[in-house]
Amino acid sequence: MNYSELAPQYIRAIAPYQPGKPISELERELGISNIVKLASNENPLGCSPKATAAMHEAIKTIALYPDGNGFELKDALSKKYGVPHNQIILGNGSNDMLELAARAFLTVGDKAVYSDHAFAVYPLATQAVGATGISVPAINFGHDLNAMLKSAVDNKAKLVFVANPNNPTGTFLKADELLKFLRLLPSNILVVLDEAYNEYLPQECRYDSVAWLKEFPNLIISRTFSKAYGLAGLRVGYAFCHAQVADMINRVRQPFNVNSVAQAAAVAALQDTEFVRRTFELNLRGMKQITEGLTKLGLEYIPSYGNFISFKIGDGMNYYRRLLELGVIVRPVASYDMAEYLRVSIGTEEENQKFLAALQQAIKERK
Ligand SMILES: Cc1ncc(COP(=O)(O)O)c(C=O)c1O
């Protein structure tokens, strides 16, 4: 019996998500220590001490189920962003938001549109419900919103995924480009605007997408506590959308999809604006350090608005493996049709330095 044949064809066709290599795995494989992981766009500062204290407190009541409605966290988000509770959805990471949107609104025969080189979970979430994903060619690695609009309309798509900034390219869409797209898109096509890296945007790029919810009932804004808030291991994300959209998504959501420790930590993290500011500034300095280092090494990179950057190296997989041996974990992006590139997350000054030194050595060895 081949048990994979019991799964529908569209499940068998899925190419599984490849996460960044954990430090412990590399330690086991190569028996090395002092490993630097710059592979999953995590926060090198850890998380807010206020979040840590809240987690300790929350553990005391761990025998109880979490609040399935996430009242406290929704309330904190509601106060911060001015969105009512019934327009907020909580998720097990923002990955959950992407999957829930697909699960609630797509089925076999439906279509979803996203960009080439866009975050891998869009095709995965689409395929997992038997819908058809349409990937639209990018311009300079960024989303071509005009082409995505045309594709969505021509193909009668139900859902469009837009990442801003996008991972792994780091490309950014300006507010006026997004607004134009939203105004032209028929209102019966939903848009998931994935803002996982929103907090890293420089001041001059910031825009108030939350205010757009009033004008665009088809807009779903997805965000996370995994990046700037440093809570990737806890898995907590959220989305803002129309109340009817939230209602549908809540019907397919696991009742306890966000655990109680995560809810408590997220509430505390949200209050610690100082921590987010320090994260932002460290990232700004680190981005400068890494881009200057890449330039010195004669390497091209895609200017990035996130906490990571993709650079052109040639044989990405080979360099990835050599960097592993040198104790630095980065991310190969061949599955994004970017085999000549590698993606590195911005770390602390020391981690960035270790990455640049290892890269320099790997390049020297190949000459
Ligand atoms: C663009 C984008 N969206 C969403 C996510 C999902 O992150 P999480 O599920 O940790 O919120 C990621 C993670 O890397 C991402 O890069």
The model's pTM is 0.97
> Is 299:306 a contact under the CB 8 Å cutoff?
no
Peptide bond into 19 cis (omega under 30): no
Strands 88-91 and 36-37: unpaired
CA 11 to ligand 1 center in whole angstroms: 22
**Residue whose CB lies within 8 A of the most ligand 1 atoms, among 96, 226, 238, 257, for a mutation test:** 226
56, with CB counted inside 10 A (0-12, 13-18, 19+), is exposed
Which one, of 125, 213, 115, lies nearest residue 164 by Cα? 115
Please work out whether the CB of residue 41 comes within 6 Å of at least one atom of ligand 1.
yes
Tell me if 226 CB under 6 Å of ligand 1. yes
Averaged pLDDT for residues 51-76: 98
With a 6 Å cutoff on the Cβ, whether 194 touches ligand 1 is yes
For residue 18, pLDDT beyond 90: no
Q: pLDDT by residue (tens digit) across 71-118?
A: 999 999 999 999 999 999 999 999 999 999 999 999 999 999 999 999
Residue 12 CB contacts under 8 Å (≥ 6 apart), including other chains: 4, 5
Residue 260: CB within 6 Å of ligand 1? no
Instruction: Tell me the pLDDT tens digit for each residue of 298-357.
Output: 999 999 999 999 999 999 999 999 999 999 999 999 999 999 999 999 999 999 999 999
Task: Tell me how far the alpha carbon of residue 206 lies from the centroid of ligand 1, in angstroms.
Answer: 19
Query: Whats the size of the chain, residue-wise?
Result: 367
Identify the residue whose C-alpha is closest to ligand 1 atom 2: 196
